[in-house]
Chains A and B, each alone.
Chain A
Amino acid sequence: MIALKLAYRNLVGAGIRTWLNVFVLSIAYVLIIYFNGLMSGWNREARRDTINWEIANGQYWQKDYDPYDPFSFNDSHSAIPSVFNSKIDEGKIVPILISEATIYPEGRIQSIVLKGISTNQKILKLPTYELNVEIAEIPGIIGKRFSKNTNLKKDDLVTVRWRDANGTFDAAEIRIISVFNCNVPTVDNGQIWIPLDDLQKMKQMPDEATILVNGDELKVNSEIVGWVYKDIEFLVMDITKIIKTKRIGSSFFYIIILALAMLAIFDTQVLSIFKRQKEIGTYVAMGMTRKQVVTLFTVEGAFHAVLAAIVGAIYGIPILAYVAKIGFKIPEGSDDMGLAMADVIYPFFSLMLIVSTIILVFLITTIVSYLPARKISKMEPTDAIKGKIQ
């Protein structure tokens, strides 16, 4: 208790030196919370958008389906199990048939993925209702990224070639009905969404599908022969991993900030031990034990972290609240990250993040303060009183 009281007095009495250190340390607090909040916000948005646009509450995969191997798509299809019929009719499951194909936009050749989906589905956010049109060609919708890459726009016609169930090549014209704006690259890049019935006919695979998207709250049945159930955690695993990697990358930045702040604290502490020798000697002469003096200097150092948390809160809370409200605008050209990234990321500052940051900075500051303070216990009080450098 006495160490707290004296440390507070010493720090406040030291004036500008204290406040400079406190300010640097407070920047470390705010930056760590900001960057982690940004990553958490991105993670939440990416997860939410991926769930809304692609995976819903989970998926059944045809047993041979491998989303990372487009050459397997032509073989990864099966008849939709009859156990799902009622759920499909109720709109709680949406079947998707996936096929490898080739398009020829502006005379170029480009491999794509054709995805057939029920036009009346409401499970995914995809605007599949736009496919409900009566036209001579096959209606298709594409995402803004694919539109940009292929220069395909609304009402454009594009020739598509595919292989049917017998391996025979066939071709047709797809008219782009609309271009949707979506943050999830995995439903956008290199793919055209067309009505499921059309694709089933094109592929000669009536009533077949590659995946079944579950919009129901509960798993329907995880034991369907020839189908494998993938839950949300599995389906967002890639996002989690990528964001974790990016979090580690960005953490280098705030580690540098934190290291600079710690250097300032360490430097202050080391200088204190030399500059305040007389003071240390006086403390000892007046009856403080060496342990008490070491504790006092350690607490003084650690107090920086407490004051920095207060100072950081004073200017950090309004700034972070404002940033959380207006979000962080992602620069043009940064959206092809391989995972969902909105135009604006809204940082998410959880209580856990704030508390863990405060504890982390406090612990590091205390350790950094204690290390030089240990030197005091080796000082001869008789020399310290005279301020002799030892």
Chain B
Amino acid sequence: MEQSKIITIKNLVKKFPVGKGFFIALNGINTGFEQGEFAGLVGPSGSGKTTLLNIIGSLDSPSEGSAEVLGYSVGSLTHKQAAMLRRQHIGFIFQTFNLLPVYTVFENIEFPLLLMNMTATERTKAVHDAIEWVGLGDKIKSRPAMLSGGECQRVAIARAMVKKPEIVLADEPTANLDAENSHHILQTMEKLNKELKTTFIFATHDEKVINYLHRKIQLFDGKIAKDELIKSI
């Protein structure tokens, strides 16, 4: 079955100013992602995984080359256009969960929907669906401080998935979790990937995550060292 490319990266270079010179985080990246992929950017610290993830997520822009996400050229988007792209089409999962501490589980998951101006009824239904996906029905009124690390990350997954985005970007999602919780959330994400055809892209060096990946892109010193398809979509 022919898959559509939703992310295309060509000759991507990302430089950061350091002193009088530059640190080259990404150097000539060429790759692409199809809809429904469960792929990972793997490599040691400083290899450029997070930088590439940030560019795909339109949180950062390329210094040279191009990154096209869902037809939008990330480098030429204004702040507002980039925000709209993230709001409508991209979900983020962070290593440190980044839940809003003063909100309940329900409110945290509801947040992206508020930005999309959905009605209260639509939001409530969508949030309950998302809570069901991650199995946190009994924690709906809890605040993040009352949850375990695994539960926090499941809330973060629900928050990323609640708007049913085309792409979910997960930066070291298991780094703060024990083995059991890591497997649990990876299984959840794999299930959502299958059911909703959402593209998941991980930045990780965790073996537990790597074992779940369908595609592994090995980064080293800002370059793709190896691009390995483990399991086709």
Contact = CB atoms under 8 A, between A and B. Distances in A.
Given A2-B115, A5-B114, A382-B60, A285 B86 contact: yes
Contacts of A291: 80
A284 B103 contact: no
Contacts of B54: 382
A281 B59 CA distance: 10
A279 B102 CA distance: 10
B114 A6 contact: yes
A10 B102 contact: yes
A268 interface: no
A335 B44 CA distance: 83
A214 B27 CA distance: 95
Nearest to B143: A13
B87 A2 contact: no
Interface string A253-281: 00000000000000000000000001101
Nearest to B54: A382
Nearest to A282: B98
Given A10-B102, A13-B102, A382 B59 contact: yes
A94 B159 CA distance: 84
B86 A287 contact: yes
- Of A2, A5, A284, chain B has the most CB atoms within 10 Å of the CB of A284
Interface in A287-320: 287-292
Nearest to B57: A285
B92 interface: yes
B68 interface: no
A290 to B, nearest CB: 6
Contacts of A288: 83, 87, 115
A218 interface: no
A385 B59 contact: yes
B72 interface: no
Nearest to A11: B102
A286 B87 contact: yes
Interface residues of A, number: 27
Interface in B13-62: 54, 57, 59-60
B96 A278 contact: yes
Contacts of A282: 92, 94, 98, 100
B40 to A, nearest CB: 19
B114 A289 contact: no
Nearest to B92: A285
Interface string A364-390: 000000000000000001100111000
B150 interface: no
A351 interface: no
A9 interface: yes
Nearest to B50: A382
A286 B111 contact: yes
Q: Which interface class (under 10, 10 to 19, 20 to 34, 35 or more) fits B?
A: 20 to 34
Contacts of B125: none
Contacts of B151: none
Interface in A2-43: 2, 5-6, 9-10, 12-15
Nearest to A289: B83
Contact of A278 (B98, B111, B112, B159): B98
Nearest to B96: A278
B181 interface: no
B103 A9 contact: yes
A125 to B, nearest CB: 62
Interface in B75-96: 79-80, 83-88, 92, 94, 96
A155 B163 CA distance: 95
A9 B102 CA distance: 8
Nearest to B84: A287
Contacts of A14: 102
A287 B165 CA distance: 12
A209 to B, nearest CB: 76
Given A278-B96, A287-B83, A287-B88, A9 B107 contact: yes
A14 to B, nearest CB: 6
A383 to B, nearest CB: 10
A86 to B, nearest CB: 78
Nearest to B116: A287
B142 to A, nearest CB: 13
A284 B83 contact: yes
Contacts of A278: 96, 98
A6 B103 CA distance: 10
Which A-B residue pairs are the 10 nearest by beta carbons? A287-B87, A13-B102, A289-B83, A282-B98, A287-B86, A285-B92, A381-B59, A382-B54, A289-B80, A287-B115
30 contacts: A2-B114, A5-B114, A6-B114, A10-B102, A12-B102, A13-B103, A14-B102, A15-B102, A282-B92, A282-B94, A284-B59, A284-B86, A285-B59, A285-B98, A286-B159, A287-B83, A287-B84, A287-B85, A287-B87, A287-B115, A288-B87, A289-B80, A290-B79, A290-B83, A291-B80, A292-B83, A381-B60, A382-B54, A382-B60, A386-B96
Interface of B: 54, 57, 59-60, 79-80, 83-88, 92, 94, 96, 98, 100-103, 107, 111-112, 114-117, 159
